[in-house]
Amino acid sequence: MKKTVVFSALCLLSLLIWIPLCMLISGSLMSSGEIAKNLSPVLEGKSGFAAWPLMPRYPTFRAYVELLLDTPEFFVMFWNSCALVFPVVFGQIAVGAPAAWALTRPRFRQRKILRMIYIALMLLPFQVTMVSNYLVLDAFGLLGSRWAVIFPGIFSPFPVFIMMRFFSAIPESLLEASALDGAGPVRCFLSIGLPLGVPGILSASVLGFLEYWSMMEQPLAFLGDKSLWPLSLYLPAISADKAGLSLAASILMLLPALLIFLFGQHYLEQGIQAAGTKE
């Protein structure tokens, strides 16, 4: 009985979270005329309140058809997003995993200071580091190219922080035993650290994907060429009279993030546990 009450209460609460998604889905299935009619108090300044029915009166896939078959710009930006996000995620694994191992396992005197610096950097929001990033990228001649977004992403401290928690959970005795068997530090990292740290790597990847899939400031600041802009910048560019197109684009943008999340949900939970528990 008690469980039922709690379950019902939680369902009601979750509905609040589902409402925006429902509106997104129903809006993407409305005709442009219906959207304009519902949103006219907002879009055209008419009197009254905007209405948003959960079910479209005349459902149509017109917005999806137009977006998917008649808007090549959408696909250019979609693949731009992929071209930015995947190198960043792979780069974070390639760079972050050794860094996290180095900050976890080898004992050296400045390790704590370095970890403090990493955490401090992780806490700084993008707006704070934007100018320094800009100057550095300009000095390297990377401004205006995809690398201007990819490199700062690759060297982000956050995945290092996540992976550090996983690597630190590997028993020290296991590493000592492998060292006794003749394994060097690299061998230990590749053969023991990486396989045992896969959940951490994957959860860092999922979080990295979700973060960079929806990034806006970085491409706006570092990419002048619109042909390199990611999909996250496509949505604000759609005018109010094409709201249906915008909602359909939102759904499509949501899909890979959702699938990636489902794919990495298990590891993400482990990562959260790892970050939240002590040895």
Partner 1 sequence: MEMGKTLAAMPSTQRTAAKYLGGFFAVMALLTFLSRAADSFTVPVVTAEKISGGSLEHRAVAEGSLYPVSQAAVFAPAGYRILALHAEPGGRVSEGDILAELDVTQIQEQLDAAREELQKLRLGAAANAVRAPGETDESGIAAAERAIERAKADMEAAERESQLRVETARGDVSAARRFRRELRDMGEASDQELDEARNALRKQEQALEEAYLAREAALEAARRAIEDAEILLEREKAKAGRAAEVDAADERRAALEREAAGVDIRLAQQKVSELEALLETGGIVTAGTAGVVMKISGGVGSLTTGESLFVLSDSTAGVLFRTSVKVDDLKHIRRGNPASIVLTGERYAIDAVIESVSPTANGDGDFDVAAVLPDGSWEPGTSGKMTVTRKTASYPMRLSNGAVRKDQNGHFVLVIREVKGVLGNVTVAERVDIGVLEQDGSRCAVEGPLEQDDWIIIGGNRPVSVGNRVRLE
Q: Following DSSP, what letter does each residue of 45-75 receive, concatenated?
A: --SS-----SS-SS---HHHHHHHHH-HHHH
Calculate the CA dihedral of residues 137, 140, 142, 144 and round it to 10 degrees: 70
Matching residue, tokens 């699938």? 259
Among 29, 30, 35, 77, binds partner 1 (CB under 8 A): 77
- Rounded to a whole number of angstroms, the CA Rg of the chain reads 23
The answer to whether 236 contacts partner 1 (rule: CB under 8 A) is: no
Look at residue 271 and give its three-state secondary structure: helix
Among 20, 45, 48, 72, binds partner 1 (CB under 8 A): 72
Nearer to partner 1, 44 or 269 (CB): 269
Among 154, 162, 260, 274, binds partner 1 (CB under 8 A): 260
The answer to whether 156 contacts partner 1 (rule: CB under 8 A) is: no
**CB 266 → partner 1: shortest distance, Å?**
6
Query: Dihedrals φ, ψ of 238, to 5°?
Result: -80, 130
The answer to whether 212 contacts partner 1 (rule: CB under 8 A) is: no
The answer to whether 254 contacts partner 1 (rule: CB under 8 A) is: no
**CB 248 → partner 1: shortest distance, Å?**
12
**Residue 30: how many CA atoms within 13 Å on its side-chain side?**
27
**CB 132 → partner 1: shortest distance, Å?**
28
Query: Dihedrals φ, ψ of 277, to 5°?
Result: -115, 155
Among 73, 217, 241, 269, binds partner 1 (CB under 8 A): 73
The answer to whether 273 contacts partner 1 (rule: CB under 8 A) is: no
3-state helix, strand, coil in the chain (%, to 5): 80, 0, 20
The answer to whether 166 contacts partner 1 (rule: CB under 8 A) is: no
Among 52, 90, 134, 263, binds partner 1 (CB under 8 A): 263
**CB 148 → partner 1: shortest distance, Å?**
17
CA–CA separation, 150 and 191 (whole Å)? 28
The answer to whether 265 contacts partner 1 (rule: CB under 8 A) is: yes
CA–CA separation, 39 and 41 (whole Å)? 6
The answer to whether 222 contacts partner 1 (rule: CB under 8 A) is: no
Give the binding site for partner 1 (CB under 8 A).
Answer: 68-79, 82, 225-227, 229, 234, 255-256, 259-260, 262-266
